[in-house]
Amino acid sequence: MTHDRAAALAAIAEQVRACRLCRLYERATRPVPGAGSPQAEIMFIGEGPGYHEDQQGLPFVGRSGEYLNYLLKLIGLTRDVVFIANVVKHRPPDNRDPFPDEILACKPYLDQQIAIIDPLVIVTLGRFSMARYFPNGKISQIHGQPRYDDGRAYYPLFHPAAALRAPELRRDMEADIRRLPEVLAEVKRRRAAGQNQAQRDSIDEPPAGPPKQLSLF
Ligand code: URA
């Protein structure tokens, strides 16, 4: 299973490497498909590679990445137990925002990564990944408020770069990340409750087959 997921993720990385579906590859040095554990319970989704990510082919390895490492450490996690990806897999020139057609072109890769990893919690970092799950959300209003849906939590956070630029956001950012273990535990509780209910329902169900005719004699 582990091997299957790793192989499937590697196949996507290979498709990303050869991708010409939008213009971003033209000026990029390396593709940045994403990195981390194929078994991750938590997946982080950022915006797009910056300078350092483009140089190394890895997500969140610049200043934002250092801060993300720090945030993970606050809750006892390291990058290798989570999965980190972006909505676009090649660097937008000069770190401009990705255009809607670029996000759309790249969407199937991210969709497939999510389907393969099947994380319990998706943490969105910043507004571009937030928009996938909270299309009308305003990050300043909804950050740190999980939505539980179909056995998964969607947890919108500020982008680490925003917290680095505006130190007044850091307290919120750090309080939000400290609640992540609770969000994960809640997803597990809900899944377990759902399974118990399904078991009870199957016990309550009448046995299959035609009802037996009671003999009157
Ligand atoms: N910012 C992002 O959104 N993603 C990265 O990988 C790095 C910086």
pLDDT tens digits along 37-96 = 999 999 999 999 999 999 999 999 999 999 999 999 999 999 999 999 999 999 999 999
- Atom 3 of ligand 1 has which residue's CA nearest to it? 47
Q: Which of 47, 55, 113 is the pocket-test mutation for ligand 1 (most atoms within 8 Å of CB)?
A: 47
Structural domains in the chain, CATH included, are: 2-189 (3.40.470.10)
Instruction: Output the pLDDT for position 42.
Output: 98
With a Cβ cut-off of 6 Å, ligand 1 is lined by 46-50, 53, 59-60, 64, 86, 161
DSSP readout, 47-68? S---HHHHHHT-SS-SHHHHHH
User: How many angstroms does the Cα of residue 211 sit away from the middle of ligand 1?
Assistant: 62
pLDDT digits (tens, 9 = 90+) for 7-48: 999 999 999 999 999 999 999 999 999 999 999 999 999 999
Nearest to 191 by CA among 133, 134, 146, 149: 149
Q: What is the pTM of this model?
A: 0.92
How far, in Å, is the centroid of ligand 1 from the Cα of 129? Answer: 11
Give the percent of the chain with pLDDT over 70. Answer: 93
- Kindly state the tokens that stand for 84: 């980190």
